Chains A and B, each alone.
Chain A
Amino acid sequence: MDAIFLQILNGLDKGGAYALIALGLTLVFGTLGVVNFAHGAIFMVGAFCAVTMEKILTISAKVKDPSVTFFDAYKETPYLELWFGKTGSAIIDWVVPISIIVSIPVMLGLGILMERTLIRYFYKRSHAEQILVTFGLAIVLQELVKTFFGANPIPISAPDIVAGSAAIGSWIGLSDAVVYPWWRLIYLLFSVVIISGVFSFLNFTTYGMVVRAGMADRETVELLGIDIERRFTIVFGLAAVVAGLAGVMYTPILPPDYHQGMDFLVLSFVVVVVGGMGSLRGAVAAGFLLGILQSFSSMTEVKSIIPGIDQIIIYLVAVIILLTRPRGLMGRRGVMEN
């Protein structure tokens, strides 16, 4: 029971990450009809917002290290610590939450810039051309990051206060051995909040309703005198913010590197296809479903029956779903079927 509970939690946590990326991908596809292969790179750029913020907060003074006698070595002490002592250390410790706030305008700006300068010229072009141009854009973004930050992963820590594990087992009457890292619980909560926020925005605001109307029938909305293209630009920016925030929040779980976006891109496309192209609810449901399946397939009991299943489960499920429901779990008729 303990093991099953932990794997469900683990799956939800993984699923939260998949769902967040797939949500942005589906949002762009559903509104603009663009297959955005640069979406993974946007997730990676979000993660590097946290890295950049960390670099800024830890700009340091070099002081000679007397403990190294073989050669001239230097200790680096951040100016924030030199100037503000413990307060400075606390600011550095809270780099991830600070980065979340900073990354919102940055990612919104990046998304709008991408849409206005490149993506909009490809609305009426074939999906193959969209894929080529966005894939090229992804490579450009990751090479830029590699040039500035190098190829190696850069560790970023969660604030000390949430660095340990929560004794979640004892809360719900399970064994004391059932513990789960605080930051992963926060990530799960964060993904639920963001997903709810996006759904609420689309369903309960006039702006969101117009966007949905535009998704369903763009021509009619335009005939009503609404500048739908402008709203779609904002939607592209919103998708970039969602992916960027997912990236920032993921940094304490996985040290970011320039290639991280590509690793997640393949997974999130599988999630979108399984959920159904253009279906927001499908993307979220598929994200959590695949996360949970991936966790369970890693259990020793499962692997002893089908060795190596943990490494192929996502693709296996995608094949089965596409054979039985070619439009995915919640796919709509007519999407990418012309």
Chain B
Amino acid sequence: MSENKIIRNVSRRTVLKGSALTTGAAIIGATAPMHFIRNAYAADSFRGDPGSGKSIFLGFNVPQTGPYADEGADELRAYKLAVKHLNGEGDGGMLNTMKPNNLKGNGILGKKVEFVTGDTQTKSDAARASAKRMIEKDNVAMITGGSSSGVAVAVQGLCQEMGVIFMAGLTHSNDTTGKDKKRYGFRHFFNAYMSGQALAPVLKDEYGTDRKAYHLTADYTWGWTQEESIKAATENIGWTTVNAVRTPVGAGDFSQYITPVLNSGADVLILNHYGKDMVNSLTQAVQFGLKDKMVNGKKFEIVVPLYSRLMAQGAGDAAKGILGTTNWHWSLSDAGSQAFVKSFGQEYGFPPSQAAHTCYVQTLLYANACEMAGTFAPWEVIKQLEGYEFDGMGNGPTLYRAEDHQCFKDVLVVRGKEKPQSAFDLLEVVKHVPRAQVEYPADMFGGELGPYKV
């Protein structure tokens, strides 16, 4: 009875209303993700997509504190200059010399370039946290920067997970484009293997083949690979390795590691240190009289395989006469280098460091790849960068090798200048080592790039 009553009370109008509501709800339910969280579902969506916005954001993640803060400060200067040039301000810098060049000085793909910055503190966890913040909160399309391989490897891994391109700053470990390489990571800077290959012939010419080397090595990924590469290269020219001692990063006082060198029988000290550590260890090694010492009938020598002008500045007189390698130097006379040095010098009153150069170039290369791809979609931009050959950016014809995302170009062997002519004239280029001499097979350091779409 009651059942019939209920049925009787349901009118045709009510049924129609109910049907309409149900159908409507079903349509809204099916399409809601497309409207409200479209990026989470659409196959061609990506992080950092500026959409219809007028600006594209880049994330500059550099060490603003910690042992590599000097490099970080210079990287940031270079990034700001690159942004200016990309937006059509200033004299254009390397935009005038880069070949091939798709950049028009109107931002990237018509969108104004803006940036956010982070402090890596030269700590992997801090760098990852800072990069994550920029990706999630600031919607950056690309992360770049860093002055440590430990940081580069950590941030590169994060960028691969999150699908954002990472244009590495100063990172010299073989691992960055070797066992830890990633599809979303690109390195313009040279690496420890290249330093060894470039430096060894010069060491042979300058110091002979009968030498005993003692290594002091920063105890993290970069130090290990540099020690391995330099050991292999120097042993190839007949040198023997007396000892290789690992030192903690940021040790400050290296005296307890330097005193054993005095009686080790070694006649060469190789400092696999960088930044503040290198300034301290080199200064202290000189204080211990190693530069004036005679061992095995030969003059004792100190070698710093990875050198920079900023470090030479910090080490002062201790850097004079010391051999090493560098990615780039402001005194190069090619058109690209001169254009960059002029822009940078006019802006800041002093020449750029190698860290500044690599960061500036990386920003322009990313922007150019976006223009070539016609989109900010990272997998398309990656395809443009892979195997890309360019010139006019300071190191001669350069290749971004597709298999490991490592740039191949000429390497410079430099020496601390004995009689500097100016406050910046601290290094002299001893040799331009051609790209062919530092090339190696793509699978030599292992690793897998991973997928284009994540």
* Interface residues in chain A, defined as those with a beta carbon under 8 Å from any beta carbon in chain B: 2-3, 6-7, 9-11, 13-14, 65, 67-68, 70-76, 150-153, 155, 157, 163-165, 175, 177-181, 183-184, 253-255, 257, 260, 263, 294-295, 298-300, 303, 310-311
Which residue on A lies nearest to B342, using beta carbons? A70
Pair B350/A73 contact, Cβ less than 8 Å: yes
Which of B248, B289, B422, B425 touches A164 (beta carbons < 8 Å)?
A: B289
Q: How far is the CA of A65 from the CA of B243 in the complex (A)?
A: 44
Pair A71/B263 contact, Cβ less than 8 Å: no
Pair B424/A68 contact, Cβ less than 8 Å: yes
Give 6 nearest A-B pairs by CB, closest first.
A71-B345, A165-B289, A298-B256, A181-B287, A6-B259, A67-B421
Pair B65/A155 contact, Cβ less than 8 Å: no
B residues 42-98 near A (Cβ < 8 Å) are 64-66, 69-70, 73
Pair B260/A3 contact, Cβ less than 8 Å: yes
Q: How far is the CA of A131 from the CA of B64 in the complex (A)?
A: 28
Q: List 27 A-B contacts (CB under 8 A).
A: A3-B259, A6-B262, A7-B259, A67-B425, A68-B351, A68-B422, A70-B341, A70-B342, A71-B345, A71-B346, A71-B349, A73-B351, A73-B423, A151-B65, A152-B73, A153-B276, A155-B314, A155-B316, A165-B287, A165-B288, A165-B289, A175-B263, A178-B262, A178-B263, A255-B283, A295-B256, A298-B260
Pair B314/A14 contact, Cβ less than 8 Å: no
Pair A303/B245 contact, Cβ less than 8 Å: yes
Q: How far is the CA of A99 from the CA of B288 in the complex (A)?
A: 24
Q: How far is the CA of A74 from the CA of B344 in the complex (A)?
A: 15
Chain A residues with CB below 8 A from B315, complex form: 155
Q: A67-B422, A152-B70, A303-B245 are in contact. Are A72 and B346 (CB under 8 A)?
A: yes
* Interface residues in chain B, defined as those with a beta carbon under 8 Å from any beta carbon in chain A: 64-66, 69-70, 73, 243, 245, 248, 252-253, 255-257, 259-260, 262-263, 276, 279-280, 283-284, 287-289, 292-293, 295, 314-316, 338, 341-342, 344-346, 349-351, 421-425
Pair A181/B288 contact, Cβ less than 8 Å: yes
Pair A14/B255 contact, Cβ less than 8 Å: yes
Q: A151-B66, A151-B69, A311-B248 are in contact. Are A2 and B263 (CB under 8 A)?
A: yes
Chain B residues with CB below 8 A from A13, complex form: 255
Q: How far is the CB of B241 from chain A (nearest CB, A)?
A: 13
Chain A residues with CB below 8 A from B345, complex form: 68, 70-73
Pair B262/A177 contact, Cβ less than 8 Å: yes
Which of A70, A74, A155, A179 touches B351 (beta carbons < 8 Å)?
A: A70
The majority secondary structure among interface residues of chain B is helix
Q: How far is the CB of B90 from chain A (nearest CB, A)?
A: 13
Chain B residues with CB below 8 A from A254, complex form: 252-253, 280
Q: How far is the CA of A14 from the CA of B252 in the complex (A)?
A: 12
Which residue on A lies nearest to B350, using beta carbons? A73
Q: How far is the CA of A68 from the CA of B316 in the complex (A)?
A: 20
Chain B residues with CB below 8 A from A177, complex form: 262-263, 293, 295
Q: A6-B263, A179-B262, A298-B260 are in contact. Are A184 and B255 (CB under 8 A)?
A: yes
Q: How far is the CB of B84 from chain A (nearest CB, A)?
A: 16
Pair A179/B260 contact, Cβ less than 8 Å: no
Which residue on B lies nearest to A74, using beta carbons? B349
Pair A71/B341 contact, Cβ less than 8 Å: yes
Which of B280, B342, B423 touches A71 (beta carbons < 8 Å)?
A: B342
Which residue on B lies nearest to A264, using beta carbons? B252
Q: How far is the CA of A71 from the CA of B422 in the complex (A)?
A: 13
Q: How far is the CA of A76 from the CA of B287 in the complex (A)?
A: 26
Q: How far is the CA of A303 from the CA of B256 in the complex (A)?
A: 12
Q: A71-B342, A71-B346, A183-B287 are in contact. Are A153 and B256 (CB under 8 A)?
A: no
Chain B residues with CB below 8 A from A303, complex form: 245
Chain A residues with CB below 8 A from B316, complex form: 155, 157
